[in-house]
């Protein structure tokens, strides 16, 4: 990500003021206390991805806090979903105090008093999401703040923040930025809603996860070990939750996988360059380890055997 501040490039006696200035310029009025203002290893990075933005801080000791007066004079239009990367953080808001270990998430409502920080060398990644785009009632957000781990999307969202931080500036310059931004907001909304109440979030969960699940399946169609358990693990949800999502969306997981595999094998059988490749080999490429089962399912779906389809496609190609 683009570096906004690197203390090694600033004279030691100017680092404290420079670091505080960067925090103030990039966010909203808040109090900033630096554990070791003269440290030469402080780095702040940030990137804007559509309507969302990602911020990463590597600092030796810091405490950020916001009081009621600062909130009244400068309300915020974003919500922070932060991931602790290094050291153990301290987070206090809504009359609750907690420790945040590396890899864990916290929600920070910028329009309510809070305090967050850590001692010694540490790092944190924060994703800023527009409150209006989340379209969630304030009571949902407040309740979700203390129940984030209850969401089946918790681990997935933690990984998502880490991935956005790693990609950073590279995303902002691509046409995919809009899609990533949209997916990030939808994922944040679904995570908060499901942390609040599973039934409340059911529709949102399906909207967010099912496209990801279909994409994952498409990438692993040739994997003969592809199974509901494996798909669920890849998305940090239980197999039961996976089947529930599919059921709510009237989506047959098994049939969808078989259909995609059969369509892929049919297309490959019709290609002139694969005419010398055996039907059994092509079947294996598309996840069918049993040739007889493959032939039966192919005939049920397309009305002809794989070999007959290949012969017909070759005849059509010669006739052109």
Domain presence at residue 205: no
- Report the pLDDT value the prediction gives residue 48, as an integer from 0 to 100: 87
- Report the pLDDT value the prediction gives residue 115, as an integer from 0 to 100: 95
Domain presence at residue 272: yes
Same domain, 67 and 161: yes
Into how many domains does the chain fold? 3
Q: Say how many residues make up the chain.
A: 320
Distances (CA, A) of 40 to 88, 164, 255, 258: 21, 26, 58, 57
- Does the pLDDT value for residue 49 go beyond 90? no
| pLDDT confidence bin for 302, thresholds 50/70/90 | very high
- Rounded to whole angstroms, the maximal C-alpha distance in the chain is 82
At 245-263, the pLDDT tens digits run: 888 777 888 989 999 999 9
Cβ(141)–Cβ(200) below 8 Å: no
Task: Tell me the CB-side half-sphere exposure of residue 134, using CA atoms within 13 A.
Answer: 24
Domain range spanning residue 291? Answer: 261-319
Q: Which range is least confidently modeled, 9-18, 34-43, 170-179, 264-273?
A: 170-179
Question: What's phi and psi for 118, nearest 5 deg?
Answer: -155, 165
Domain presence at residue 26: yes
- DSSP letter for each residue of 211-270: HHHHHHHHHTTT-TT--HHHHHHHTTS-HHHHHHHHHHTT--HHHHHHHHHHHHHHHHHT
Tell me how far apart the alpha carbons of residues 154 and 145 are, in angstroms, rounded to a whole number.
12
Same domain, 27 and 155: yes
At 272-291, the pLDDT tens digits run: 888 889 999 999 999 998 99
Domain presence at residue 157: yes
pTM above 0.85, yes or no: no
Same domain, 272 and 247: no
Cβ-based neighbours of 77, under 8 Å, separated by 6 or more: 130, 131, 132
- Report the pLDDT value the prediction gives residue 251, as an integer from 0 to 100: 80
Tell me the CA end-to-end span of the chain in Å, nearest whole number.
Answer: 53
Q: CATH number of the domain at 146, please.
A: 2.60.120.10
Same domain, 236 and 281: no
Specify the DSSP class assigned to residue 141.
Answer: H
């Amino acid at each position: 990500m683009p570096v906004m501040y690197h203390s090694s490039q600033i004279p030691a006696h100017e680092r404290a003021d420079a670091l505080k200035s960067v925090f103030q310029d990039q966010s909203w009025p808040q109090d900033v206390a630096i554990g070791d203002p003269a440290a030469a290893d402080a780095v702040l990075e940030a990137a804007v991805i559509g309507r969302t933005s990602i911020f990463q801080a590597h600092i030796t000791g810091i405490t950020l806090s916001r009081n009621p007066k600062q909130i009244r004079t400068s309300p915020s239009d974003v919500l922070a979903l932060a991931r602790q990367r290094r050291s153990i953080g301290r987070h206090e808001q809504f009359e609750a105090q907690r420790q945040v270990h590396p890899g864990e998430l916290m929600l920070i409502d910028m329009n309510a008093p809070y305090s967050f920080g850590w001692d010694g060398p540490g790092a944190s990644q924060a994703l800023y999401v527009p409150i209006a785009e989340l379209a969630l009632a304030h009571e949902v957000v407040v309740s979700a703040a203390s129940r984030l781990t209850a969401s089946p999307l918790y681990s997935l969202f933690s990984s998502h923040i880490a991935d956005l931080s790693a990609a950073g500036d590279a995303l902002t310059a691509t046409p995919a930025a809009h899609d990533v931004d949209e997916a990030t907001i939808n994922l944040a909304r679904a995570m908060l809603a499901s942390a609040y109440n599973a039934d409340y979030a059911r529709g949102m969960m399906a909207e967010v996860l099912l496209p990801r699940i279909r994409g994952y399946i498409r990438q692993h169609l040739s994997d003969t070990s592809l199974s509901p358990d494996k798909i669920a693990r890849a998305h940090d949800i239980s197999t039961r939750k996976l089947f529930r999502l599919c059921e709510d969306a009237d989506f047959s997981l098994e049939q969808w996988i078989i259909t995609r595999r059969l369509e892929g094998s049919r297309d490959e059988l019709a290609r002139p360059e694969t005419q010398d490749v055996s039907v059994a080999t092509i079947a294996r490429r598309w996840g069918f380890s049993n040739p007889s089962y493959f032939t039966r399912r192919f005939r049920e779906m397309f009305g002809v055997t794989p070999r007959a389809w290949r012969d017909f496609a070759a005849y059509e190609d010669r006739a052109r």
